[in-house]
Structure 1
């Protein structure tokens, strides 16, 4: 387990709209752009193998485009390189960070930044719990949400998972908008993230009920 003193002051950034990585969760990614293939190669040479997942404030991602101030760093825990140089990787969430200042402009083809890890010490600790959760009510809402959503049919496999795994997995899997995902990332506690998740699902259900046929588009 990493400690605060192990985390570097500067990390590579991977701005990706809609991608959500949370501490102790895993995010698979397909890396094909040349600049990010360079980033993976450089990352593998570092002792921490950290990449900062962060959302841009608009799309498409462009050089110099503004980024959100909070992202989540993941450790590159597995990778496969294809014959044509692409990577299939998995990042394991380590800790959220606050973006201080982008650095190294022009030195690398990808973006880098100085970051601050303070305020997110809990991300490096033990698995979080949600003692105030009414699991029966939560699962009931999930059932209604996925009955309307349809695509994710295997959500029931999460029912027996612990609080953190279930809430974080649903936050990452559900098809929320980028700004909604950012709100889930910035939630200060697991309880707050679950409350935000429930609010987003309830809003989606109200939207569905107002549409012809009662299905999400």
Structure 2
């Protein structure tokens, strides 16, 4: 993955990060996540981000054991790792909503959650160091560690699409670079919250691809469509 020109320098990363806790919304470094912002607290969060670093952290809330455990999902306990995205597209609708696109920059772990901003949105103190490589790119050894079996990934994806009733543009899928393919599939496929978190936390692209292959194959087998899978 090539670091975009608008990416922040590591030493300029903020010590405080506004977060958007949204279940099932996965942002990965290099990926793009469109968001429709309409709640007052998140409108304020977007305004604050635009006035500052333009960074917003996407963190999934922990799944609640029972319905009603958290009437406000935005107040639920969080997973410990999220991904910071930079606002790279911004628009405002006639009814006061914001339409933004976040481009994933790098992951972070939640060092601590801070008191809420006056407008009600949540903030954390992020630990950037464990994921510094997301922003600065890897060396030749790291690139080797990211290698994966692309043929098996595409085979598993076909089976997953068949049992899930999903469709894809196979010409585009086959033409995509490895990092673009893995990032797009991880973000777009309808995995559950814990599966998406596992993909986020995978240390390398290769491990993320292997995790996704396992998810595709398990889903296919669960639906009785396991013919042709390799283990």
Instruction: With the length of structure 1 as denominator, give the TM-score of the two structures.
Output: 0.89
Q: Which moved more, 1:61-70 or 1:15-24?
A: 61-70
Q: How does 1:26-105 map to 2 (within 5 A)?
A: 26-46=32-52, 48-59=53-64, 61-62=72-73, 64-105=75-116
Give the C-alpha shift of residue 107 in structure 1.
Answer: 2.5
Give the C-alpha shift of residue 146 in structure 1.
Answer: 1.2
RMSD of aligned C-alpha atoms?
1.9
Deviations 1:77-128 (A, max 9, x none): 1011011110111000001001011113352310011111011011002388
CA contact (8 A) 1:129 1:164 kept: no
Deviations 1:130-170 (A, max 9, x none): 66322222222211211222233325412111111000100
Give the C-alpha shift of residue 58 in structure 1.
Answer: 2.5
Q: What is the match of residue 14 of structure 2?
A: 8
Q: Pick the aligned partner of 1:140 from 155, 162, 167.
A: 155
SS in 1 for 2:62: coil
Count the aligned residue pairs. Answer: 209
Structure 2 residues not aligned, in runs of 5+: 1-6, 65-69, 226-231
Q: Pick the aligned partner of 2:126 from 83, 106, 115.
A: 115
Q: Which moved more, 1:71-80 or 1:201-210?
A: 201-210
Distance in 1 between residues matched to 2:74 and 2:23, nearest whole Å? 14
Structure 1 residues not aligned, in runs of 5+: 211-217
Give the C-alpha shift of residue 66 in structure 1.
Answer: 1.0
